[in-house]
Amino acid sequence: MRSGAGKPLTRIGVLALQGDFHEHIQVLESLEVATSEVRLPTHLEGLDGLIIPGGESTTIVKLGDLYGFREAIRAELDRGMALWGTCAGMIVIANELTDDRPTPFGYVDMKVSRNWFGRQVDSFEQDIAIDGIDGDPYHCVFIRAPAVARLGNSVEVLATVDGDTPIAVRSGKILATAFHPELTDDTRVHEMFVNLARNGN
Ligand code: GLN
2-199: CATH homologous superfamily?
Answer: Class I glutamine amidotransferase (GATase) domain (3.40.50.880)
- Cis bond upstream, residue 102 (ω within 30): yes
Question: Which residues make Cβ contacts (< 8 Å) with residue 84, sequence separation at least 6?
Answer: 49, 50, 51, 52, 174, 175, 176, 177, 193, 196
d(CA 55, ligand 1 centre) in Å: 5
pLDDT at 3 over 70: no
- Residue 6: pLDDT band (50, 70, 90) is low
- Residue 7: pLDDT band (50, 70, 90) is low
Our answer on whether the CB atom of 115 is closer than 6 Å to any ligand 1 atom is yes
Long-range contacts of residues 113-120, Cβ cutoff 8 Å, at least 24 apart: 113/146, 113/147, 113/148, 113/149, 114/57, 114/146, 115/144, 115/145, 115/146, 116/145, 116/146, 116/147, 116/149, 116/165, 116/178, 117/142, 117/144, 117/145, 117/147, 118/144
What share of the chain in percent tops pLDDT 90? 89
d(CA 56, ligand 1 centre) in Å: 5
What pTM was computed for the model?
0.95
- For residue 86, the ligand 1 atom closest to its alpha carbon is 8
First and final C-alpha spacing in the chain: 22
Q: Where are the domains of the chain?
A: 2-199
State the average pLDDT for the chain.
94
pLDDT at 181 over 90: yes
- Residue 122: pLDDT band (50, 70, 90) is confident
pLDDT in tens, 138-179: 999 999 999 999 999 999 999 999 889 999 999 999 999 999
Q: What is the distance, to the nearest Å, from the Cα of residue 26 to the centroid of all Cα atoms in its chain?
A: 15
